[in-house]
Structure 1
Amino acid sequence: MQNYQTLTAAFTWNMPARYNVAAACADDWARQEPDRICLIEDRGEAPARTLNYGALAASSRRFAAALAARGVRRGDRVAIVLPQSFQTVIAHLAVYRLGAIAVPLAMRFGPEALGFRLKAAGAKLAILHRDGLETFRRVEDALPELEGVIVVGADLDQGGDLLDFHRLIAESDGSVEDAATVPDDPALIIFTSGTTGPPKGALHGHRVVLGHLPGIRFHHESYPQPGDRIWTPSDWAWAGGLLNVLLPSLQLGVPVVFSAERFRAEEAYLLMARQKVKNAFLPATALRMLEAATNAEAVKGLRLRTIASAGESLPAATYDWARRALSITVNEFYGQTECNMVLGSSAAFGVSRAGAIGRPVPGHRVALLDEDGQEVSAGTPGTIAVRAPDPVMFLNYWQDAEATAARFSGDWLITGDQAVMDEDGYVAFVGRDDDIITSAGYRIGPGEVENCLLAHAAVKLVAVVGKPDPLRTEIVKAYVVLKDGWPASDALAGEIQRFVRTRLSAHEYPREIAFVDDMPLTTSGKIIRRVFRERAVAEVAEAFRG
């Protein structure tokens, strides 16, 4: 196997003149091996249901013809509000065939979040699961551009205002010609997580799937290998589930395992063993939950070969646990909705270090810049920036030229994320610009404090924010979810404070700790620190009024 330096030096992008995600992820395999399994639905103790490439190609073509018959044309936006399912993949590929633009949205969005995104994207059609109908009905009157709704799993009358997904496929003749798309043609709008204000729609070209192939091959260590089978609990409406796992794996011929159930650590162990999962993409929060639930019986029967993780910093303690308990080195990587999978680790290629994201993935030019746009020296904090052009980079923010321009400085896309690069080229995440805590002249990244807190035996999940303080500008405040069996108390709060102070420094330890029952998460599984920043500000205001 090549080492990292050789792999990077030899890498070149070879973009085809024509490229369509549907053809690459279904049709090519359907012609070669139509019976090859591409999707596996885990149904607990019941036998799994599977879909092969021949059926996927045929069903997505029939659905594309049905969409075209209802007026969907090149450039139209089609919202896909579905859970992990066969229908989700069929819908995506059908939209890509027409040269239309898929807008994946999470089932768990409330009416305000769903309505905002549907309206911002100007969706012409929405494909919904029956369980999402009630939420949709609360916002449909505010969506003048929406012309139709297709529902999966509902018993519908033919004369109603809703269209039945399966009936449309059954009645379609599949006679539709795929749009002649090129890599830069628009394919997909993924909304940002909304951790720092109103979500923005990041428009990606068909090339984005090609752009992810080097990353997924790197993180999953010469992926695919014989017998590989991948699973993630991450929502396919998020870049993590869709682009880190689903679409690249379909193009590479790797079966993708999925489940309709929400993530629970105990069940996740059983699923991975039952479905012979070899490769997993697990955000750090999911890994910490697995860590808390691990025992000899849980890991029995696992066949894991690789684990990749992203979305939030992986604590060194969890990295060490996976090595010890699972005999796997977790390959962490980094990216954003706008430009994903550009930094990362791969133990097999000699790139792995606890507490570091990794190094630039072959094919991507990444640097840390100062406020003047100059590269910083080793050991100096800077902002992660990605050199354009890059196949994984978004085309623009949907209908927002000003916001798009603000993300660039010359040829660099500025992520807004702070990091430090050492002399070996390893990048350690510090935090977002707006997550940085300023206290008594110190700039404190919440990630390091959170990682330390998570090493305490009582702490399950944590969010660290800056709370306004008249003396220090801000103090560090931690909101903590405790593990089962650890009752909240002032004594425990003091113990946790001392634990951090003795491991970091006097200015970094949380001067206040609040115990909470749960954590607000984005659909991508990231903790929404903004909720706690707002709570901390409200606490100060309330104290002032008192």
Structure 2
Amino acid sequence: MLERRDDYQSLYRDFRWRIPQGFNIGTAVSDHWAAREPDRVALLDYRADGEAEKLTYGELAARSNSFANGLRALGVRRGDRVALLLPQSFETVIAHIAIYKLGAIAVPLALLFGVEALEYRLQTAGVKAVVTNSSGTAKLAKIGSRLTDLEAVVSIDGAQGGVRDFHRIVADHPSSFIAEDTTPDDPAMMIFTSGTTGPPKGALHGHRVLLGHLPGVQTAYEFLPQPGDLMWTPADWAWAGGLLNALLPSLYFGVPVVSARFEKFDPEAALGLVEKMGVRTAFIPPTALRMLKSVEDIRKRFRLMLRSVGSAGESLGRETYDWARAEFGLTVNEFYGQTECNLVLSSCAALGVSRGGAIGKPVPGHEVAIIDAEGRRMKPGEVGQIAIRRPDPVMFLEYWRSPEATAKKFIGDWMTTGDQGIEDGDGYFQFFGRDDDVITSAGFRIGPGEIEDCLTGHPAVALAAAVGKPDALRTEIVKAYVVLKDGFVGDAALGDEIKLWVRERLSAHEYPREVEFVDSMPLTTTGKVIRRIFRDRAKRETGR
């Protein structure tokens, strides 16, 4: 854990990792608290009526033990892959912990995946068992015959056909279980990359990945845990963000976590949850924060008790940063990482590390730099690739059964991210975008995130994507694809107004020279805009 200080420099300088020889995520987030405070609340399941069911650490430890025994009876052994295709729920956490205790490998997957995307991931991982619900079993029924490694399907919605009942398994097996003796480097979970730039890859993480996240979580949420803290995130727990930026670290620190089952993000419902549950700490990705802008008079209509909000997944931007400060009365702490090496840069207003448009400074314990193609550090203000030096406890072990892809991820001891950015003279990092996302126009290298953030500050704009469109004169021009809020009509006059809005707030070289209105925005399951779809569309318009 981080020592509480007011000085970032000394905190970073004096930090040292203390990784034990033996560590198991499952026992760390349930059994340790169950032994000390079995009645301490671990989870709260929020319902539409505003009430919540509670699950204590004692119950969490016992039920995960029972399910671990049940999985073992189904033939799941150490090193086997078990997929979780579930919403936020008690059962999701119980299953995760049981898998870790078994020494098996959890493969969290989003319920939003279609059958082809699901089949690809299950086949790639060689999944032996799947824990899901009725929606998941319906998808599995279409592809099950092709999943040669799959031996068992368990549903939280009850047994049907060859599908086993989750709750019956828990009830029928003993609540005592001796967890496997795992080391920090033993594999614990496989999280697939989002696939924004190519086929998704399974990033394999060891049990140490949780320990590696703790300093970043503590800075992002201003020295979590604090008295009365209660965590909530709209992010899917199948995503590294929801799982490792919110759920597991909070349970490790003894902070209760709220689960909720929204079919899609609803800004009004989200604010209602935060108010009714008394949420104090929240992980809210930038897309969700921008959607909250559509709610008027938040401070007048909702009595919020938020102490700290962290945000990551894409660039937050100055516009949303300033809006959140005015609307919530706090500074959103932006942070950065990726599936392979998460939460290595962070803001922390409590330490005085906060700047609109920046993603913070290196988290204590992590060495981060901007490098060139040969692995040399760039000078302050020079654009290059964000990279993290190994060894690092939050860094992935490998891409699953892909040694060549793993090797290509590194330049010497630097793990490359594929993300372009700069480090300024004060040590702040700014994120421009993926290599393919950066726009080159009239000699300027332009990151799309700041433009998109500025666009969503316009009263008519709900969501936006900015890409480079090939141009004979400028190499590329900035083109914006915009989803409007209800009640607005996308005509030429509004397009010109939006262009001027960005030009006046950013610069003459960053504003979109073309604005196209679209009905919807393609997003990954982690809430990131899939810019390559629009980039390809813009290229087709020019015949390139």
Query: Normalising TM by the smaller chain, what interval?
Result: over 0.9
1:515 paired with 2:520, answer no
Cα offset, 1:538, TM superposition: 3.3
Return the alpha-carbon distance in structure 2 between the equivalents of residues 144 and 244 of structure 1.
33
Q: CA RMSD in A?
A: 1.5
Per the alignment, residue 139 of structure 2 pairs with 135
Q: Once structures 1 and 2 are overlaid, which stretch shifts more, 273-282 or 169-178?
A: 169-178
Per the alignment, residue 412 of structure 1 pairs with 414
Check whether the contact 2:50–2:273 (CA below 8 A) recurs between aligned residues.
no
Cα offset, 1:288, TM superposition: 1.3
Per the alignment, residue 180 of structure 2 pairs with 179
Q: 1:316 aligns with which of 314, 318, 341?
A: 318
Q: 2:12 aligns with which of 8, 14, 22?
A: 8
1:197 paired with 2:198, answer yes
Q: 2:423 aligns with which of 421, 433, 439?
A: 421
Return the alpha-carbon distance in structure 2 between the equivalents of residues 214 and 441 of structure 1.
39
5 Å-filtered alignment, 1:333-344, equals 333-344=335-346
- Aligned-pair identity in percent equals 58
5 Å-filtered alignment, 1:235-314, equals 235-261=236-262, 262-296=264-298, 300-314=302-316
CA distance 1:30–1:176, shift in 2 (3 Å)? closer
Cα offset, 1:471, TM superposition: 4.4
1:71 paired with 2:75, answer yes
1:161 paired with 2:162, answer yes
1:401 paired with 2:403, answer yes
Q: Once structures 1 and 2 are overlaid, which stretch shifts more, 44-53 or 376-385?
A: 44-53
Per the alignment, residue 53 of structure 1 pairs with 57
Return the alpha-carbon distance in structure 2 between the equivalents of residues 298 and 161 of structure 1.
52
The TM-score with structure 2 as length reference comes to: 0.96
Q: Deviations over 1:68-108 (max 9, x none)?
A: 11111111000000000000001001110111000000011
Return the alpha-carbon distance in structure 2 between the equivalents of residues 299 and 333 of structure 1.
29
Find the residue that maps to 2:436 and give its secondary structure.
Answer: helix
Q: Which amino acid aligns with 1:249?
A: S
Find the residue that maps to 1:139 and give its secondary structure.
Answer: helix
Q: Once structures 1 and 2 are overlaid, which stretch shifts more, 63-72 or 172-181?
A: 172-181
Check whether the contact 2:371–2:378 (CA below 8 A) recurs between aligned residues.
yes
Q: Once structures 1 and 2 are overlaid, which stretch shifts more, 382-391 or 317-326?
A: 317-326
Return the alpha-carbon distance in structure 1 between the equivalents of residues 256 and 62 of structure 2.
18
Q: 2:464 aligns with which of 462, 465, 483?
A: 462
Cα offset, 1:444, TM superposition: 2.3
Q: Deviations over 1:215-243 (max 9, x none)?
A: 11111111101100010000000001000
Return the alpha-carbon distance in structure 2 between the equivalents of residues 199 and 314 of structure 1.
24
Q: Which amino acid aligns with 1:255?
A: P
CA distance 1:527–1:339, shift in 2 (3 Å)? same
CA distance 1:352–1:441, shift in 2 (3 Å)? closer
Return the alpha-carbon distance in structure 2 between the equivalents of residues 481 and 425 of structure 1.
35
The TM-score with structure 1 as length reference comes to: 0.96
Cα offset, 1:468, TM superposition: 2.9
When the two structures are aligned, how many residues end up with a matched partner? 539
5 Å-filtered alignment, 1:19-58, equals 19-58=23-62
Q: 1:360 aligns with which of 359, 362, 382?
A: 362
Cα offset, 1:470, TM superposition: 4.3
Q: Which amino acid aligns with 2:208?
A: R
Find the residue that maps to 2:293 and give its secondary structure.
Answer: helix
Q: Deviations over 1:281-336 (max 9, x none)?
A: 00111111112204156653211000000011112122112221211100000000
Q: Deviations over 1:120-142 (max 9, x none)?
A: 10000111111222222222122
Q: Which amino acid aligns with 1:290?
A: L
Per the alignment, residue 351 of structure 1 pairs with 353
1:170 paired with 2:171, answer yes
Return the alpha-carbon distance in structure 2 between the equivalents of residues 278 and 539 of structure 1.
47
Cα offset, 1:477, TM superposition: 1.3
Return the alpha-carbon distance in structure 2 between the equivalents of residues 391 and 517 of structure 1.
42
Unaligned 5+ runs, structure 1: none
Q: Once structures 1 and 2 are overlaid, which stretch shifts more, 445-454 or 17-26?
A: 445-454
Check whether the contact 2:316–2:449 (CA below 8 A) recurs between aligned residues.
no
Per the alignment, residue 116 of structure 1 pairs with 120
Per the alignment, residue 436 of structure 1 pairs with 438
Q: Which amino acid aligns with 1:205?
A: G
Find the residue that maps to 2:480 and give its secondary structure.
Answer: strand
Return the alpha-carbon distance in structure 2 between the equivalents of residues 477 and 220 of structure 1.
36
Q: 1:103 aligns with which of 107, 112, 123?
A: 107
Find the residue that maps to 1:416 and give its secondary structure.
Answer: strand
Check whether the contact 1:315–1:454 (CA below 8 A) recurs between aligned residues.
no
